[in-house]
Amino acid sequence: MDGAYVSAMAALAGSAIGALASITTSWLNQATQTRAAQRALDRSRREALYGDFIREASRLFVDAFENELEDPAKLVNLYALMSTMRLFGSPRTVDEAERVLNRIGAAYFAPNRELHDFSNITHHGELDPLAAFSEACRDEMLRQRI
């Protein structure tokens, strides 16, 4: 085989290998960026969902503390958030959210309390029914960073 053909073939092979390496690098970078963007979107979705649940549950807990459940439709938004959480949340987070729902339901069916009852509640740890849920959310979000 002629030396010119060998050099031309070597040049073409080198160009092909360089182009393939460039394409592969670009593809890997794009895939990594896409995964990172998806993780960020998932994280922001969870943060918004958990924040909405905390706000709604807090509002309902105070309402349940002072009132009886006259209109079950009050709970619809909280149950919708809970169902959405089952799609994205970790089992521990979902379990803690269900405990919050149960505590709110129990508070609605318990006798109404007066403002001075808050001092007794704070000593028994009843005032923050969302503490365990919040910790579960924080742990889940920390695990998602890894």
Q: What are the sequence ranges of the domains in the chain?
A: 42-145
146 residues of the chain, pLDDT tens digit each: 677 777 778 888 888 888 888 888 888 888 888 888 888 888 899 999 999 999 999 999 888 888 888 888 889 999 999 999 999 889 999 999 999 999 998 888 888 777 666 666 555 555 678 889 999 999 988 887 75
The distance from CA 53 to its chain's CA centroid, rounded to whole angstroms, is 11
- Closest CA relative to residue 96, chosen from 42, 37, 53: 53
Tokens matching residue 111: 């006798």
pLDDT given at position 146: 54
What is the Cα–Cα distance from 89 to 104, expressed in whole angstroms?
Answer: 20
What is the Cα–Cα distance from 129 to 124, expressed in whole angstroms?
Answer: 11
Tokens matching residue 66: 């002072």
